[in-house]
Chains A and B, each alone.
Chain A
Amino acid sequence: MKISISAQGPNPEALVDPRFGRAAQFLIYDTDTDSYEVLSNAESQDAFQGAGIKAAETISRHGARVLITGHCGPKAFSTLKAAGIEVVTGAEGLSVSQAVDKYRSGQFNAANSSDVRGHWQ
């Protein structure tokens, strides 16, 4: 299973990026191989609107089943939900690997709705 984490840097020691749509990049953790892959988020960062929607599409196309991030707006949330991706918010302050461990040990609950309002965060 693939877990996608919004990340401020390109390695598991980097902090979780609190932004989803305009995250610096994503790390994709594969539970089967215990390995990380870096996924660019340039297309969403450049978008003048709908960055969260674009980012959701990007991670969906890479087969992510779970997203761990800081905050998630309403449009991104609907898109992630439609893609069948489980959303975990509130992971800011942790490193990517800490966030993954916390998720795998069942200490995160899936979000039922977006946790911030939309519009250009």
Chain B
Amino acid sequence: MKEMVVISGKGGTGKTSLTASLASLSGASAIADCDVDASDLHLVLSPEVQRLESFKSGHEAVIRQDDCIACGTCMEKCRFNAVHEARRYGRPSLFKIDPLSCEGCGVCVRLCPEKAIDFPERTCGQWMVSETRYGPLVHARLAIGAENSGKLVSIVKNEARRIAKERDLPWIIVDGPPGIACPVIASITGASLALVVVEPTLSGKHDMERVFELTKHFDIPTLVVINKWEINPGIAGEIERGATSAGVPLAGKISYDNSVTAAQIKGIPVVEYGGPAARDIREIWHAIERRMESIEKPSVIEV
């Protein structure tokens, strides 16, 4: 079983469009959309949801107003400014906890002299297992303001691994989140290959370097793809040289091609729509397969 994760330091570099096409080219794969904060893969894979689970993580503090004596201890002890006081004429203040600011540390719960603060589990989103014509898709939706700690990403990825093993699928293809923090780390952990998508811009180059630090730190073989390379062939060249000197080979370059947007509008992977970008992506797929053969043990840590 081979696991490839498609990432990019910067958002909006074409990661999801590429992932959809690679899933189509792979023939049989389990697909994981780990970009749980802006999951878009389902828009081009037309999934049919088979299973829906709610995602709970951590706790949140809630004051039981009937038992509150308005002593203000919770507000004084909260380091996240999550407790707000409404002063009321002729009556004690009303204290409330803003769920979006609450860090779920439980300090107020513990220190409340009246034990008037509940600490229920927090629902932070949901995750789904769907069927698509490219294979099973595991995807998720993080709730607004929830902490993207990487736990939901891990759930999505582990479920995809479990399904891939159960159905004996040769590939797990992961659409990773942007950035460099928890969710990205969770999405690349244990992968056999990381594919970094970058556009030939100064921002793209800057963010790419930070992502390379991360894949190097976690010892994950990495390839780079330059998307829309004609926007700036000069910077595309710099990126290619920079990547090579960082020990990251180029998997290929994708042309600036309106058929990428056209395919998105039609709701299909661009390789099925055709055009120059589609041809480039086929080349990239071959480069990935070649790279995979040279990785000695493309094993995924079992879960």
* Chains A, B in direct contact (C-beta < 8 Å): yes
Q: Which of A18, A71, A121 has the most CB of B within 10 A?
A: A121
Shortest Cβ distance from B185 into A: residue: A119
CA distance A71 to B218 in the complex (A): 17
Whether A120 pairs with B150 at a CB distance below 8 angstroms is yes
Q: Which residues of chain B (260-277) have a CB below 8 Å from chain A?
A: none
For A119, give its contact among B147, B186, B302 (CB under 8 Å): B186
User: What residues of A have a CB within 8 angstroms of the CB of B154 in the complex?
Assistant: 120-121
User: What residues of B have a CB within 8 angstroms of the CB of A70 in the complex?
Assistant: 302
Please classify how large the interface on chain A is, using the bins under 10, 10 to 19, 20 to 34, 35 or more: 10 to 19
Given contacts A18-B303, A71-B301, A92-B302, contact A121 B190 (CB under 8 A): yes
Whether B189 pairs with A119 at a CB distance below 8 angstroms is yes
- What is the 8 Å Cβ interface bit string for chain A, positions 74-118, against chain B (1 contact, 0 not)? 000000000000000000100000000000000000000000110
User: What residues of B have a CB within 8 angstroms of the CB of A48 in the complex?
Assistant: 57-58, 147, 149, 151
User: What residues of B have a CB within 8 angstroms of the CB of A46 in the complex?
Assistant: 56
For B302, give its contact among A18, A117, A120 (CB under 8 Å): A18
Whether A121 pairs with B301 at a CB distance below 8 angstroms is yes
Whether A120 pairs with B186 at a CB distance below 8 angstroms is yes
A49 within 8 A of B: yes
A54 within 8 A of B: no
B225 within 8 A of A: no
CB distance from B145 to the nearest CB of A (A): 15
Whether A120 pairs with B151 at a CB distance below 8 angstroms is yes
CA distance A116 to B190 in the complex (A): 9
Chain A residues near B (Cβ < 8 Å): 18-19, 46, 48-49, 70-71, 92, 116-117, 119-121
User: What residues of B have a CB within 8 angstroms of the CB of A119 in the complex?
Assistant: 150, 185-186, 189, 218
User: What residues of A have a CB within 8 angstroms of the CB of B44 in the complex?
Assistant: none
Given contacts A48-B58, A92-B302, contact A121 B189 (CB under 8 A): yes
CB distance from B142 to the nearest CB of A (A): 13
CA distance A119 to B189 in the complex (A): 7
CB distance from B29 to the nearest CB of A (A): 21
User: What residues of A have a CB within 8 angstroms of the CB of B149 in the complex?
Assistant: 48-49
List 18 additional A-B contacts (Cβ < 8 Å) besides A70-B302, A120-B189.
A46-B56, A48-B57, A48-B58, A48-B149, A48-B151, A49-B149, A49-B150, A71-B301, A92-B302, A116-B301, A117-B189, A119-B150, A119-B189, A120-B151, A120-B153, A120-B186, A121-B189, A121-B301
User: What residues of A have a CB within 8 angstroms of the CB of B190 in the complex?
Assistant: 121
User: What residues of A have a CB within 8 angstroms of the CB of B301 in the complex?
Assistant: 18, 71, 116, 121
- What is the 8 Å Cβ interface bit string for chain B, positions 148-160, against chain A (1 contact, 0 not)? 0111011000000
CA distance A92 to B299 in the complex (A): 15
CB distance from B250 to the nearest CB of A (A): 27
CB distance from B255 to the nearest CB of A (A): 36
CA distance A117 to B109 in the complex (A): 34
Shortest Cβ distance from B57 into A: residue: A48
User: What residues of A have a CB within 8 angstroms of the CB of B153 in the complex?
Assistant: 120
CA distance A117 to B303 in the complex (A): 14
User: What residues of B have a CB within 8 angstroms of the CB of A71 in the complex?
Assistant: 301
Shortest Cβ distance from A51 into B: residue: B151
CA distance A49 to B57 in the complex (A): 10
CA distance A120 to B154 in the complex (A): 6
User: What residues of A have a CB within 8 angstroms of the CB of B185 in the complex?
Assistant: 119-120
CA distance A49 to B153 in the complex (A): 13
24 A-B interface contacts by CB (under 8 A): A18-B301, A18-B303, A46-B56, A48-B57, A48-B58, A48-B147, A48-B149, A49-B150, A49-B151, A70-B302, A71-B301, A116-B301, A119-B150, A119-B185, A119-B218, A120-B150, A120-B151, A120-B153, A120-B154, A120-B189, A121-B154, A121-B190, A121-B301, A121-B303
CA distance A116 to B302 in the complex (A): 12
Shortest Cβ distance from B219 into A: residue: A117
